[in-house]
Amino acid sequence: MKKGFIIWLLIAVVAVAGAFAGGLITDNGLVGGQSEAKTVSVNNENNQQTSVVNDGNKQNDSKVNDNDENKKIYTMEDGVKVYYVSGINKDMMGQTITIKCKVANVKERKDTVFFQLQDIKHQNKTVNGVMFKKTNADNKERKEVLEHAAQGKSTIYIEGQVDEYKGALEVKTWKVYTK
């Protein structure tokens, strides 16, 4: 009797494991290629409600203002969530993010580079950026990319951690690049 139960249990475990491995059951509990749509509402710094809409497909993931579908605060590029400056808020503190922006006011003091990140659509939306001495010393080309972008007003990508300094948001930057 025990032998029969153990064999039945082993077959059940193998069947369930095969269903997960074969994609019949996914980690969100859905069968096959089904996707689960999710909408999460949050308030931005202007107390306007926005929604995060995720249909389960990361390429279609976007965050928009409920009042204007064209005001996305991030987009998906090559499987990476890329934020606009207008999408950066205090709820993101401590997170490492990628930002698509323009740059202005690049200054260097004691090998630390300070600059402003400007939203590519709304240039009055800015966040401070800082690239500390060690990051700057590791690769001086990062500063050159910032300066070139500031002169030509071209769009660049910045990767860094959202933080707060003296009551204002800033991005501690360690990666700067163009596409």
| 150 within domain boundaries | yes
Predicted confidence (pLDDT) at residue 74 exceeds the cutoff of 90: no
Please tell me whether residues 95 and 155 are part of one structural domain: yes
149-164 confidence digits (pLDDT tens):
999 878 999 999 999 9
Whether 144 and 86 map to the same domain: the answer is: yes
What CATH number is given to the structural domain containing 129?
Answer: 2.40.50.140
- Is the whole model's pTM more than 0.75, yes or no? no
Q: What is the pLDDT of residue 49?
A: 39
Angle at the Cα of 35 (from 29 to 40), degrees rounded to 5? Answer: 95
Domain count, the chain: 2
* Residue 64 placed within a domain: no
Give 164's Cβ-side CA count (13 Å radius).
8
Is 84 inside a domain boundary? yes
Answer yes or no: is 115 within a domain.
yes
Least confident of 12-16, 90-94, 130-134, 145-149: 12-16
Specify the 3-state DSSP secondary structure of 87: helix
CA distance 52 to 74: 10
Residue 37, in any domain of the structure: no
Asked whether residue 43 is assigned to any structural domain, the reply reads: no
State residue 179's pLDDT score.
Answer: 86
pLDDT at 20 over 80: no
Both 25 and 92 in one domain: the answer is no
| Domain extent at residue 14 | 1-31
Q: Does some domain include residue 117?
A: yes
Task: Look at residue 63 and tell me whether its pLDDT is greater than 50.
Answer: no
Name, in order, each residue with C-beta under 8 angstroms of 122's C-beta and a sequence gap of 6 or more: 86
